[in-house]
A and B are shown apart, each in its own frame.
Chain A
Amino acid sequence: MEHLLEPHFGLMFWTILNFFLLVFLLGKFAWKPMIKAINDRENRISSDISSAEKNRQESEKLKAEMDEGLKKIKKQSDKLIKEAKELGEKNKEEILITAKEQAHKIIQSAKGDIEIEKQNAIKQIQTEMSNVVILASEKLIGKNLDSKDNKKFTEKVISELEKN
């Protein structure tokens, strides 16, 4: 077991040589490409992150602009609707007033017409009645009444009839 701590210069020398050769060759062919790949990826990730951040800020700005525009549009549309409502209300009232007026006029004229027709009808009835009364009286009395008496009589009868 005493060999355990015995230095072996050949092995030591070979280890050192071997190690420096490895440092040179592995550094050139293994670690350099690997570290380059790592650095490239890190750069890409950091640039991705910064561009994503930039995009986020831009989209936020855009969103704020959109919100502003939307607010403006809503305000305008509210105003327009209000105006339209007011206009509609005004029109409605005007139409109602004219319609009422017209209806009143029509009713008035119809009433006048009815009155005239009524008067006509009354007059006609009166003449018819007087004729009928004359005829009846003639039959009753058996003599022909002259027109002067006739008239007086009939008028008297009619006025009595009217009283009834």
Chain B
Amino acid sequence: MIVDSLEHHILDHARFHLNIFGYNMSITDHLIFITAMSILMLIAFPIIARLKHWKINSLIEVMVLFVRDDIVIASMGKEGEKYTPYFCTLFFMILTTSLVGMIPFSKTVTGNLSVTGGLALTTFLLVNFMGIKEQGLIKYIKSFVPAGAPPLLAPLMFVLEIIGLFTKTIALAIRLFANMIAGHIVVICFISLIFIFTQMNLISGLITIPPSVGMSLFVNLLEILIIFIQAYIFTFLTAIFTSMAIHEH
């Protein structure tokens, strides 16, 4: 029963099955949801940007300033300032989709490994693109081996750096995914406790209600904190990786 409810709440469900070139391109709940969120963001943020002297504008501005000063400039320096819009989009994409995922009956798309994997892949693409753009292709590939490395170790370090590039991406994807899914699983488990104890005995079920609801509320609030932290971490790590790719070691 718990597994059923978990699968129902957390997993993605296909609405239309679609296969293109042998790939599963089905239209799923998460796909619909992520599209809806993107459209919402596309409508809301340009309007908010023009609503000067409104409180909501100041709120978003504070976060934009945070992304600019404490993420982009802090990790990439002053010359990274022009990439602020990219990091703002990344930050608000994760933040908005995760926060809306906290609303009952909505879907937490960042709790899907494919979505976080997609986001991590954008970081992978960005890091390599920026590295090649700023340093040139040959210099960028050379930069995988640190300048002071012994010649004998160079091939090993090159391989390790290439592996590191992929592990960084995978770690990004799994970190966000696990953080988002864990809270939801814990909440479902706490709520399921009530039903499990009620099956055993009505009185014990009734006694379980207050601690279960209290703990799930606590975990919910904790999750809101984690959403902000994870949005920050994902954006900050992307900025750091990009900065490492831009600057020669």
Contacts and interface: CB of A to CB of B under 8 A. Distances in A.
B12 to A, nearest CB: 7
A33 B42 CA distance: 14
B41 A26 contact: yes
A9 to B, nearest CB: 5
Given A19-B122, A23-B89, A26-B89, A31 B84 contact: yes
Interface in A2-50: 3-16, 18-23, 25-27, 29-35, 37-38
Contacts of A18: 34-35, 38
Contact of B31 (A7, A10, A23): A10
Given A11-B31, A27-B86, A19 B114 contact: no
A26 B53 CA distance: 20
Contacts of B249: none
Contacts of A161: none
Contact of A3 (B7, B26, B61): B7
A8 B60 CA distance: 32
Contact of B85 (A11, A15, A27): A27
A141 interface: no
A23 B7 contact: no
B10 interface: yes
B93 interface: yes
A4 B38 contact: no
A3 B4 CA distance: 12
Given A35-B85, A37-B52, A29 B46 contact: yes
Contacts of A20: 122
Contacts of B6: 1
Given A4-B181, A9-B114, A31 B88 contact: yes
B45 A30 contact: yes
Contacts of A33: 46, 49-50
Nearest to A31: B85
B118 A34 contact: no
Contacts of B60: 34
Residue among B60, B89, B92 with max Cβ neighbours from chain A (10 Å): B89
Contacts of B89: 19, 22-23, 26-27, 31
Nearest to A20: B122
A19 B68 contact: no
A43 to B, nearest CB: 14
B70 to A, nearest CB: 14
A162 to B, nearest CB: 123
Residue among A3, A13, A26, A32 with max Cβ neighbours from chain B (10 Å): A26
B86 A38 contact: no
Given A29-B46, A33-B50, A15 B7 contact: no
Interface of A: 1, 3-16, 18-23, 25-27, 29-35, 37-38
18 contacts: A1-B7, A7-B113, A9-B25, A14-B31, A14-B34, A15-B117, A15-B119, A16-B125, A19-B89, A21-B38, A26-B45, A26-B85, A26-B92, A29-B42, A33-B50, A34-B60, A37-B52, A38-B68
Interface of B: 3, 6-7, 10-12, 18, 20, 23-26, 28, 30-31, 34-35, 38, 41-42, 45-46, 48-50, 52, 60-61, 64-65, 68, 84-86, 88-90, 92-93, 112-115, 117-119, 121-122, 125, 181
